[in-house]
Amino acid sequence: MSNLLLSPSSARNLGSSASKLLPKTQCRHATLLKRPKRPYTFTQLVTLSDGSTYTHRTTSPASVVTSTKDTRNNPLWNPSSQKLLNVEEDEAGRLRAFREKFGRGWDSEVTESAEEAREGEEGLPPQEGEESLLDLISNYGRAEAAKGGAAGEQGKPAHLSGKERKSSK
């Protein structure tokens, strides 16, 4: 029995009968792997804002869910919906005051028919002094250039690097 506990290298020295009893290949049993837990999934009915429904599997036990945010009630994904048009209601003239201060560059794109309806309700002519934000920005640069203060002295760049300053002296 002591011959069976010897290593294969020492079994060569013992003789042919002992080498037949020892295994010639390594034997490695598989390690035990636990299976991952798979939670039970429920069938869930999701109702979207336009009334359409679909089903899917989820771990939530709630059987019916009403979605509040979806592609059907968002103007980015559904721009043709008349229900989602941005009709602005001016409370106490706040919107008009904002436009007088900052211009109309912040307004969302509105269809022409909605603008005509709004002008008819208010009965006020459109202000000619209102400019878009891009017009204000582009005119600001031109006004500073005309004064000569924005671009520095004529012919010289406004900012010089260290090497350029030394060479210009």
Tens of pLDDT, residue by residue over 3-29, are: 555 555 555 555 666 667 766 777 788
Between 17 and 115, the higher pLDDT residue = 17
Rounded Cα distance, 128 and 66, in Å: 47
Q: Closest Cα partner for 117 from 79, 87, 75?
A: 87
pTM of this prediction exceeds 0.75? no
Task: Give the domain range for residue 98.
Answer: 88-108+131-145
Quick check: is 2 in a domain?
yes
d(CA 118, CA 96): 12
pLDDT category of residue 141 using cuts at 50, 70 and 90: confident
CB contact set of 130 (below 8 Å; sequence gap of 6+): 99, 100, 103, 104
Instruction: Determine, yes or no, domain membership for 119.
Output: no
Q: Does a structural domain hold residue 61?
A: yes
Q: Are residues 99 and 139 in the same domain?
A: yes
Q: How many domains does the chain have?
A: 3
Choose between 32 and 162: higher pLDDT: 32
Asked if residue 85 has pLDDT above 70, the reply is: yes
Residues 60 and 95 in one domain: no
Same domain, 62 and 19: no
- The answer to whether residues 103 and 137 belong to one domain is yes
Angle in degrees, CA 101, 128, 104, rounded to 5: 40
Same domain, 65 and 96: no
Evaluate whether 132 touches 108 at the Cβ level (below 8 Å).
no
Q: Is residue 64 part of a domain?
A: yes
